[in-house]
């Protein structure tokens, strides 16, 4: 038995004496054999990677099947091994685990993002059946991040971004904080090498200055424990470089302005001891107001429990303290692995997990992912939803009847409404927070009592999407808006087609359309109406299909050309452009170039919201006026009733250093304080934007909603202004509008 194999098995037996050592030895030998010709980019044998993954899993104290999967996880993907061979040698359980971790390589995806999203979907499907799949995947990613120095810079950046987007937050959600911290540190190092180096240098200098401070504070806390008969443990450390850098970025402060570099952990036997030592420490040192959090009475969504507080300790140094029991510490370090759920081979789609659902918020979160998979969410939507959910902390709010609603940090009353029920969200009209009417975009805080005011006449607005942070609310809003727009397009299409029948002196009815559906590409009558309303189907085509036997399409089309086409071609020649038939979905490569104010074409911009370079745009030909430019996302629906030949595809043709300005408008909701308007105007001025018009839309005792009509250079310039305004402390929200 090799030394590495012996050491691995010895580590597993230390926490699981009943482990199947012969199976582990076989997995070790088989993986080493099939990988014997493979070499890593570093030049070392490839087998060192699965061995390292297995050791990480053993460090997490996982069962023998999971550790064996770590040894075998790359065999099917990279060698001649097959799932059938794995099944024959190691059984169905390990075969399924290996399959769950194996990446999708044979499917053909149109984009890298789609491939990444579909891989992520497979990972979700696998680990919502057996959580051990995700634990193996995290160990695999951790070792890859530890050995990134031999990869190309582009690969280092791409993998690090994915690690920060998905894997580090997944580790945090599962409560495995040491894995999360290490993943973040490696990703930080490769994504922002200069910032990483700068933070490390400053930490080294701080360490030299305060080298004995950690020991001093630890000694004081230990003495407090001893004097009060509490048998506990104390540890202290500097915070990690990534968390320090993130705080500097989020709060826009320098390293020197940070006041809480040091963190201490106090671990005691009982919950009563936690609160006792908290009182003793608060008696010894003054607290820092606003930083106390009790996650014992209200655990985090990953079942994390601890008391967090911040005090002003020796040498006037602010320090953070975490106080927890030994059992809580085990969960904080190992997360879901500490629950030993893997020993029961948990499933979330059957009976085995149901009896434990109430015990673990992690299980509840996984069940929500299963529901999304069942609902048929496409891979990219699911990927973005999960990224968004992973990053958020939580707030606890209450319904008027006292029901607790747990939401991500930054959630609004609209999120709250959809968390209660989708119908409540769809009928959201307004809200009261702690008895006071508040704007719908107000950020909720812990302990808020939220009352939702409903109206069945309310229509969901797509701009709500900018005011929510939960995946459930966002999905429901987009679905409701799609349904509403579909109904609108169906209604418009029906009206357009009815008028076309009237012009032909024909009687219009649904039955006559249904009887002739086989002559049209659409499957249902609603699809016909919708496509007409969208401008994707001409009423003339429907008339030809319905009255095919009595109409002469060629003659009618020739008359239409004579009456309409000729006139438009003459108008196009008059204003100096080449006329062509097109539609809303026209060919971009044949589009007309628009050069802004200096264009030789008679061009004007939509009066509501304008258009700026960077927007996808469409033009509408108007006799005696020229072309009106609309952003594709804001073209008024009534224009879709126009004949398709009136819509032309246009693209921007702006010189790089052009000083031409274009109209755009933003809507700002801000707290009513003296100087608020001055602050907003100053930021817009500092960013070289012009304010054309200011309109006060809605004024309440506490806030004002206002619209700024601006002149900007392009979409990047507009987004810079929006970011600047949103950073003002008195500003609640900023968004671009097309009202």
- Provide the 8-state DSSP code for 490: H
Closest CA to 277 of 318, 225, 320: 225
More confident residue, 619 or 146: 146
Highest mean pLDDT out of 485-489, 572-576, 710-714: 710-714
H or E stretch at 178: helix 177-191
What is the SS3 assignment for 57?
Answer: helix
Distance CA 423, CA 432 (A): 18
What is the SS3 assignment for 427?
Answer: coil
Work out the angle at residue 608's Cα, subtended by the Cα atoms of residues 603 and 613, and round it to the nearest 5 degrees.
55
Query: Which DSSP string do the residues of 314-338 spell out, in sequence order?
Result: GGG-EEEEEEEEHHHHHHHHHGGGG
Check residue 42 and give its pLDDT. 81
Q: Which two tokens stand for residue 307?
A: 């008391």
Average pLDDT (315-324) is 86
Percent above pLDDT 70 for the chain? 75
Distance CA 634, CA 622 (A): 18
Q: 3-194 in CATH: which number?
A: 1.10.3210.10
**Residue 650 backbone dihedrals phi, psi, to 5 degrees:** -135, 150
Average pLDDT (657-684) is 86
Please list the active-site residues: 77-78
What is the SS3 assignment for 102?
Answer: coil
Check residue 348 and give its pLDDT. 37
Highest mean pLDDT out of 25-29, 311-315, 527-531: 25-29
Task: Read off the pLDDT of residues 272-293 as tens digits, 9 standing for 90 and up.
Answer: 999 999 999 999 998 888 778 8
Check residue 383 and give its pLDDT. 53
Closest CA to 69 of 106, 34, 38, 100: 100
Distance CA 391, CA 471 (A): 12
Q: Decide: residue 97, CB within 10 A, 0-12 exposed, 13-18 middle, 19+ buried.
A: buried
Q: Decide: residue 408, CB within 10 A, 0-12 exposed, 13-18 middle, 19+ buried.
A: buried
What is the SS3 assignment for 694?
Answer: strand
Check residue 206 and give its pLDDT. 78
Closest CA to 297 of 279, 268, 324: 324
Indicate whether 187 pLDDT > 80. Answer: yes
Indicate whether 327 pLDDT > 50. Answer: yes
Check residue 485 and give its pLDDT. 78
How distant, in Å, are the alpha carbons of 250, 346, 704 from that of 676? 22, 55, 10
Given pLDDT bands bounded at 50, 70 and 90, which one contains residue 365? Answer: low
Specify the range with the lowest mean pLDDT, choosing from 223-227, 286-290, 551-555. 551-555
Q: How many helices (H) and strands (E) does the chain have?
A: 30, 19
Indicate whether 415 pLDDT > 90. Answer: yes
What is the SS3 assignment for 726?
Answer: helix
Given pLDDT bands bounded at 50, 70 and 90, which one contains residue 580? Answer: very low
For tokens 């001649």, the residue is: 80
Measured over the CA atoms of residue 490, residue 494, residue 500 and residue 503, the dihedral's sign is negative
**Residue 113 backbone dihedrals phi, psi, to 5 degrees:** -65, -40
450-454/428-433 β-pairing: antiparallel
Query: Which DSSP string do the residues of 75-94 spell out, in sequence order?
Result: HHHHSS--HHHHHHHH-HHH
Q: Which two tokens stand for residue 279?
A: 């009182």
CA 541 to the chain's CA centroid: 43
- Provide the 8-state DSSP code for 150: G
List b or e across 501-514, with b for residues whose CB sees 16 or more CB atoms inside 10 angstroms: beebeeeeeeeebe
Indicate whether 165 pLDDT > 90. Answer: no
Distance CA 135, CA 141 (A): 10
Rg (CA), the chain: 32
Distance CA 493, CA 541 (A): 13
Task: Read off the pLDDT of residues 497-552 as tens digits, 9 standing for 90 and up.
Answer: 887 888 788 888 888 888 888 888 888 888 888 888 776 777 888 888 888 766 55
* In 251-387, beta strands by DSSP E: 262-268, 293-294, 307-312, 318-325
Check residue 278 and give its pLDDT. 92
Contact assessment for residue 277 and residue 285, using Cβ atoms and an 8 Å cutoff: no
Same fold, 3-194 and 200-337: no
Average pLDDT (629-634) is 75
Instruction: Parse the chain into domains and list their residue ranges.
Output: 3-194, 200-337, 480-551, 554-652, 662-736
Distance CA 357, CA 389 (A): 19
Q: 662-736 in CATH: which number?
A: 3.30.70.260
Q: Which two tokens stand for residue 610?
A: 């304008």
Helices (H), 16-111: 21-34, 48-59, 64-72, 75-78, 83-90, 92-101
Q: Which two tokens stand for residue 205?
A: 């200098």
Indicate whether 302 pLDDT > 60. Answer: yes
Specify the range with the lowest mean pLDDT, choosing from 60-64, 233-237, 534-538, 599-603. 599-603
Closest CA to 31 of 14, 12, 56, 48: 48
The rounded mean pLDDT for the chain is 77
Q: Report the greatest alpha carbon distance in the chain.
A: 103
- Cβ partners under 8 Å of residue 171, min gap 6: 138, 177, 179, 180, 183, 335
Query: Which DSSP string do the residues of 486-525 spell out, in sequence order?
Result: HHHHHHHHHHHHHHHHHHTT----HHHHHHTGGGSS-SSH
3-state helix, strand, coil in the chain (%, to 5): 55, 15, 30
Helix 193-209 vs helix 241-251: crossing angle, to nearest 10: 110
H or E stretch at 717: helix 715-726
Given pLDDT bands bounded at 50, 70 and 90, which one contains residue 115? Answer: low
Average pLDDT (487-494) is 80
Check residue 587 and give its pLDDT. 37
Contact assessment for residue 329 and residue 267, using Cβ atoms and an 8 Å cutoff: yes
Distance CA 342, CA 648 (A): 60
Distance CA 647, CA 637 (A): 13
Contact assessment for residue 131 and residue 341, using Cβ atoms and an 8 Å cutoff: yes
Check residue 343 and give its pLDDT. 40
Within 13 Å, how many C-alpha atoms sit on residue 329's CB side?
18
Distance CA 394, CA 446 (A): 8
Q: Hey, what CATH topology would domain 200-337 get?
A: Beta Polymerase; domain 2 (3.30.460)
């Amino acid at each position: 038995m090799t030394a590495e194999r012996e050491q691995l098995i010895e580590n597993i037996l230390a926490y699981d004496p009943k482990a199947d050592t012969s199976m582990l030895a076989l997995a070790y030998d088989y993986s080493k054999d099939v990988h014997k010709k493979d070499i890593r980019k570093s030049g070392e044998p490839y087998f060192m990677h699965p061995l390292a993954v297995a050791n990480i899993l053993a460090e997490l104290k996982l069962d023998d099947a999971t550790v064996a999967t770590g040894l075998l996880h790359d065999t099917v993907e990279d060698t001649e091994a097959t799932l059938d061979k794995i099944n024959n040698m190691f059984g169905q359980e390990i075969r399924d685990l290996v399959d769950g971790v194996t990446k999708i390589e044979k499917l053909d995806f149109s984009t890298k993002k789609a491939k990444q999203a579909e891989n992520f979907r497979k990972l979700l499907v696998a680990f919502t059946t057996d959580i051990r799949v995700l634990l193996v995947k995290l160990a695999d990613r951790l070792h890859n991040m530890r050995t990134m120095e031999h990869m190309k810079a582009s690969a280092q950046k791409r993998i690090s971004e994915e690690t920060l987007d998905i894997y580090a937050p997944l580790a945090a959600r599962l409560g495995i904080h040491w894995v999360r911290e290490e993943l973040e540190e490696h990703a930080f190092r490769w994504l922002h090498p200069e910032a990483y180096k700068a933070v490390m240098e400053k930490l080294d200098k701080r360490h030299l200055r305060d080298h004995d401070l950690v020991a001093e504070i630890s000694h004081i806390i230990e003495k407090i424990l001893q004097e009060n008969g509490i048998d506990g443990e104390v540890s202290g450390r500097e915070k990690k470089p990534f968390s320090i850098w993130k705080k500097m970025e989020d709060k826009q402060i320098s390293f020197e302005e940070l006041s809480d570099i040091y963190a201490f952990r106090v671990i005691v036997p009982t919950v009563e001891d936690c609160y006792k030592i908290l009182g003793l420490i608060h008696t010894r040192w003054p607290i820092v107001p606003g930083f106390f959090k009790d996650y014992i009475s209200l655990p985090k969504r990953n079942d994390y429990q601890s008391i967090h507080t911040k005090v002003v300790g020796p040498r006037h140094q602010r320090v953070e303290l975490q106080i927890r029991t030994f059992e809580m510490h085990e969960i904080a370090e190992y997360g879901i692995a500490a629950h030993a759920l893997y020993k029961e081979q948990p499933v979330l789609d059957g009976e085995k997990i149901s009896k434990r659902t109430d015990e673990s918020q992690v299980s509840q979160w996984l069940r929500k992912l299963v529901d999304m998979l069942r609902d048929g969410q496409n891979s990219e939507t699911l990927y973005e939803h999960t990224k968004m959910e992973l990053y958020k902390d939580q707030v606890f709010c209450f319904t008027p009847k006292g029901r607790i609603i747990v939401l991500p940090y930054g959630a609004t009353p609209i999120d709250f409404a959809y968390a209660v029920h989708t119908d409540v969200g769809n009928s959201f009209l307004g809200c009261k927070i702690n008895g006071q009417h508040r704007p719908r975009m107000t950020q909720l805080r812990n302990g808020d009592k939220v009352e939702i005011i409903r109206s069945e006449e309310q229509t969901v607005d797509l701009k709500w999407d900018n005011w929510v942070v939960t995946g459930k609310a966002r999905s429901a809003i987009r679905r409701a808006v799609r349904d509403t727009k579909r109904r609108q397009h169906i209604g418009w299409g029906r009206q357009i087609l009815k008028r076309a029948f009237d012009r032909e002196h024909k009687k219009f009815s649904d039955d006559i359309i249904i009887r002739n559906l086989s002559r049209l590409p659409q499957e249902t009558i609603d699809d016909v109406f919708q496509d007409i309303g969208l401008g994707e189907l001409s009423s003339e085509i429907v008339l030809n299909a319905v009255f095919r036997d009595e109409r002469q399409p060629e003659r009618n089309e020739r008359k239409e050309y004579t009456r309409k086409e000729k006139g438009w071609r003459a108008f196009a020649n008059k204003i100096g452009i080449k006329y062509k038939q097109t539609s809303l979905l026209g060919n971009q490569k044949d589009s007309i170039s628009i050069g802004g104010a200096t264009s030789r074409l008679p061009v004007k911009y939509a009066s509501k919201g304008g258009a700026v370079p960077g927007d996808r745009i469409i033009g509408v030909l108007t006799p005696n006026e020229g072309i009106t430019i609309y952003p594709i996302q804001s073209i008024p629906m009534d224009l879709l009733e126009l004949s398709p030949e009136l819509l032309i595809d246009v693209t921007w043709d702006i010189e790089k250093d052009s000083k031409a300005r274009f109209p755009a408008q933003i809507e700002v909701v801000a707290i009513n304080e003296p100087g608020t308007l001055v602050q907003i105007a100053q930021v817009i001025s500092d960013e070289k934007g012009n304010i054309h018009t200011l309109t006060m839309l809605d004024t309440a005792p506490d806030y004002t909603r206002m619209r700024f009509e601006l002149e900007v250079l392009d979409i990047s310039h507009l987004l810079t202004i929006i970011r600047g305004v949103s950073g003002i402390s008195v500003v609640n929200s900023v968004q671009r509008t097309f009202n």
